[in-house]
Every structure is written in C-alpha cells, then in structure tokens.
C-alpha cells in the first residue's frame, strides 16, 4: 500500500507543478500589436489617443494612424481609443491580432 501511494505521488506531483507553472505563464504572456486607426472612409487618423487600462500615460497614433503596442494578455486589458470629432471606441486586448485595424465613426 505504501508503495502504491509513493508511485501515485510520484506520478501526480510533476503534473500539478506543470499545471501551476502553466497558469503563471498565462498571466505573464504578452503580445505585440500594430494597430491602425482609420475613419469610415478608410483615411488614417493621426494623433488618435490610445489609453491602456492600468497605464497613466496616453499613447498616440503616428501620422499614418498606426501605433505599436506591447500588451499583456493575462488580465485582458481594455483599450480606449478616441479622437476629436469621432465616437470613442473600447476594445479588449484579446480581440486584437498582430496586425489590427479599427474604424472610428464620426460624431453626428
């Protein structure tokens, strides 16, 4: 009986360590996203403000409406995008692929 317990513990313990380490690595994962912000006509929006959940600093798109972001996917942060004359947009970081494009709609 004692040998059976030792064998079971020997077999199960490494798997529990792997599951625990895998869970921690999920929290620490990040991805790089190149985001392009355009209007309804497909024109780039330069200077669109990007606010990332958990950051006090604002980020802005370049003159081509692009920005490169390094996003932590563990907490599924929210991304807030706005620009003068357009309706604000909120996205989940998980919904973005490496090359993503979003469209801002003009205010009425």
Q: How many H-runs (helices) and E-runs (strands) does the chain carry?
A: 1, 7
State pLDDT tens for residues 46-60: 999 999 888 888 999
What would the CATH number be for the domain defined by 29-103? 2.60.40.10
- Give dist(CA 50, CA 54) in Å, integer: 12
Taking residues 90-103, what's their average pLDDT?
90
Please tell me what DSSP assigns to residue 81. Answer: E
Q: Is pLDDT above 60 for 5? A: no
CB hemisphere CA count around 83 (13 angstroms)? 19
Residues in Cβ contact with 95 at an 8 Å cutoff, skipping those fewer than 6 apart: none
Per-domain residue ranges for the chain? 29-103
Centroid of chain to Cα 30: 7
Q: Is pLDDT above 70 for 62? A: yes
């Amino acid at each position: 009986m004692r040998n059976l317990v030792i064998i079971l513990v020997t077999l199960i313990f490494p798997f529990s360590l792997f599951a625990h380490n895998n869970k921690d690595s999920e929290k620490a994962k990040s991805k790089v996203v190149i985001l392009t912000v355009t209007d309804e006509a497909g024109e780039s929006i330069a200077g669109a403000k990007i606010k990332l959940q958990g950051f006090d600093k604002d980020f802005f798109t370049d003159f081509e409406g692009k920005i490169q972001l390094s996003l932590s996917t563990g907490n599924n942060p929210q991304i807030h995008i706005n620009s003068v004359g357009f309706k604000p947009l909120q996205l989940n970081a998980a919904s973005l692929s490496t090359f993503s494009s979003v469209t801002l709609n003009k205010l009425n």
